[in-house]
Structure 1
Amino acid sequence: MTHNPTNPTQHSLFQKVEQVRRRRAKVRDATITLAHGSGGKAMRDLIDDIFVGSFDNPLLAELEDQARVSLAELIAVGDRLAFTTDSYVVDPIFFPGGDIGSLAVHGTINDLAVSGAKPFYLSCSMILEEGLPVDALRRVARSMKAAADEAGVKIVTGDTKVVHRGSADKIFINTTGIGVIRPDVSISARNLQPGDKIIVNGYLGDHGAAILIARGELSFSSAIESDSQPLNSLVDAILDVCPEVRAMRDATRGGLATVLNEFALSSEVGIRLYESSMPVREEVQGICELLGLDPLYLANEGKLAVVVPSDRAQTVLAAMRAHPTAEKATIIGEVIDSPQGVVLMQTLFGTERIVDMLVGDQLPRIC
């Protein structure tokens, strides 16, 4: 039968078909089942309701096997593509200051930003455990949308898999991001030169401490929240006043100490830090002293270390402190000739100690 628009009955039928096609599906189950990963209607309903409904942008709504983006939009910003991926297995999935969803978005955006790139698009792949409450998944997806909107990026493609109960732990997320690097910057861990200054944008170790408390394994009572936040706007502010930034990196797993050791090794220089300048909350310092931890190795999810020429340090510091994500920005150290590949700490007592790279893991499943 062909469609005859002059036939009232047939016209009404086709209107109803179109309405059904446009109507967004709804997940009726209270928990994730294996059917939600089967590729059938249950999976389609999950994608349409939770992900398309939450992320809500035209590129994703096409529901193709790939996102199709405009090269012209990217080329207008620069001629170098930044491409990164990361996976998130944090436990618990909800914690003070964020959740696994916002963390996944912030982490990938920040990995792009510290290369000098403007982030544009993210993918999102999820591994879900059978039995995960659908409301928890919906909450995570909405959190991802809010985090992406705050940073000005879009989640445009993804994938969903479901595994048997006990084969995972609630939800694991992989996010991949692409951005375009500014034409006037060349940021690399190999660029450090003696005399350069090292700046961080605020308190260290908040994320690690917040996760530790959220696990409820210790009888701590504290209002510490994760510092999870997007840093692309802050990086823009830094590069606007100092395109000559030598190196920049967000201090996530392994903390600030690991980042600075990587810088020292890559550039074959030394680094001297000043304990008196380290921005660490009293509560975080207290937790670390009780548990034998070092805040320099605790994970951060909204902190970066930036290395700039000495004569640009005060300009950069002022620009950072004017930004809401870096009001506590501080110069914490400098690059020195030697010993090469070594990070030193000048202590409060005037002595020096070596700040080595983290061996093992102070706190697993932190991000």
Structure 2
Amino acid sequence: MNASGIAPDAKVMLKHGAGGRAMRELIQQVFVGDAKAPADGGIGLAAMDDGAALRVGDQWLVMTTDSYVVKPPFFPGGDIGRLAVSGTVNDLSMMGATEIAALTCAVIIEEGFPRADLERIKASISAACAEAGTAIVTGDTKVMGRGEIDGIVLNTAGVAFTRRLVPDCGLALGDQIIVTGTIGDHGLAVMALRHSLELEGELRSDVAPLNGLIRRALEAGGEGVVAMKDPTRGGLASTLHEMAAKSRVGIMLKASRIPFNTSVQATGELLGIDPMHAANEGKAVLGVRPDAAASVLAALRSHPLGMRAEIVGSCVAQRPGFVILDTGFGLRLLTEPEGELLPRIC
């Protein structure tokens, strides 16, 4: 074992890129190291937030980057192009930066990838940018040999400005937890398609840029919106664990208040999968002060992407860093996945 307790022959596994506890541990052990916060009081790598923030005059410059390897690249409700734009826009928005200045996009293509599919992805990128009110301003293209990658990989980065940062660690006792809509849609839709599952009901990804929705919530809640995060890989369970641990509070969830699409809930029960462990690509989790919760909820529900928003829980003193689920029949700890149930989900 080395000084970090890691075996010298340890290997990186798929679970280390899946958004759960294993991925956070890998990032902390290998990449974060002794990284320090920016000198201006901004947010840097060590915070492991959705992006970084640097002071520029009287504003914050927010930056983020992500790579997308979803398989298959086309799925009900979207494709890898819409996913890449939405994911980057949403990461910026989760830090309070909803006016997206610009995006970059790098495309790595396997030799033999269909030209028609590439053009379809490009059209989807353009449509998602228009929806978010931004544009791709620069990028890069590489072509790899057959078998060197699987189809296509996208990397996007984004920049935005905001006068007020919203970190993912700002929760305090009594704060209300709001989810902006139904949980588990993206993960179970991709899983059903990948495994050719013949299931009743329509499963569709929720992938969408959320900056307009979050802007409305921030306008309604102001300083009362104190923490935000999008529940992507690892799902709602992983996101809440991370927010609780960083904020040093417990989170009490009401199971009856968590919104699910009927098809997602039925599929999860059939497969033995908890939708709270499944990825979302068009939802957000907000921590809101009690006196702002009603106005934020109303603002979210007034937007097409937030009509099924719900207050699902609150921050409590019990079990700091953990999530407690009130099932209606008793209390239990909500487990955090070590890794995503399905690799290459986004």
- TM-score, structure 2 normalization: 0.81
Question: How is 1:348-359 mapped onto 2 (pairs within 5 angstroms)?
Answer: 348-349=328-329, 351-359=330-338
Correspondence 1:331 to 2:311: yes
2:86–2:208 CA contact under 8 A, matched in 1? yes
| 2:270 partner amino acid | L
Correspondence 1:263 to 2:243: yes
Aligned to 1:47: none
Aligned to 1:347: 327
Correspondence 1:247 to 2:245: no
Q: 2:203 aligns with which of 221, 224, 236?
A: 224
Question: How is 1:90-239 mapped onto 2 (pairs within 5 angstroms)?
Answer: 90-117=70-97, 118-181=99-162, 183=163, 185-239=164-218
Question: 1:340 and 1:216, CA in 2 relative to 1: closer, same or farther beyond 3 A?
Answer: closer
Q: CA deviation at 1:152?
A: 0.5
Q: CA deviation at 1:186?
A: 3.4
Greater Rg, structure 1 or structure 2? 1
- TM-score, structure 1 normalization: 0.77
Mind listing any 5+ residue stretches in structure 1 that lack a counterpart? 1-73
Mind listing any 5+ residue stretches in structure 2 that lack a counterpart? 1-54
Q: 1:310 aligns with which of 271, 287, 290?
A: 290
2:221–2:293 CA contact under 8 A, matched in 1? no
| 1:348 partner amino acid | G
Q: CA deviation at 1:283?
A: 1.2
3-state SS, counterpart of residue 305 of structure 2: coil
Q: Which has the higher contact order (CA 8 A, sep 6+)?
A: 2
Tell me how far apart the structure 2 counterparts of residues 276 and 138 of structure 1 sit (CA, whole Å). Answer: 43
3-state SS, counterpart of residue 304 of structure 2: coil
Question: How is 1:44-83 mapped onto 2 (pairs within 5 angstroms)?
Answer: 79-83=59-63
3-state SS, counterpart of residue 125 of structure 1: strand
Tell me the number of residue pairs that the alignment of Structure 1 and Structure 2 aligns.
290
Q: CA deviation at 1:75?
A: 7.3
| Percent of residue pairs identical | 47
Correspondence 1:280 to 2:257: no
Q: CA deviation at 1:81?
A: 0.5
1:186–1:246 CA contact under 8 A, matched in 2? no
Tell me how far apart the structure 2 counterparts of residues 281 and 327 of structure 1 sit (CA, whole Å). Answer: 13
| 1:289 partner amino acid | E
3-state SS, counterpart of residue 229 of structure 1: coil
3-state SS, counterpart of residue 246 of structure 2: helix
| 2:142 partner amino acid | K
Tell me how far apart the structure 1 counterparts of residues 276 and 328 of structure 2 sit (CA, whole Å). Answer: 15
Tell me how far apart the structure 1 counterparts of residues 339 and 230 of structure 2 sit (CA, whole Å). Answer: 20
Structure 1 outlier segments of 4+, above 2 Å:
216-222
3-state SS, counterpart of residue 242 of structure 1: helix
- 1:316-358 alpha-carbon deviations (Å, 9 max, x no partner): 1011110111000100000001211111000031x11111321
- 1:128-174 alpha-carbon deviations (Å, 9 max, x no partner): 00000101000000100000011101101111111111111110000
- 1:148-204 alpha-carbon deviations (Å, 9 max, x no partner): 0111011011111111111111100000000112x2x33122211111100011110
| 1:170 partner amino acid | G
Q: 1:89 aligns with which of 48, 69, 80?
A: 69
3-state SS, counterpart of residue 311 of structure 2: strand
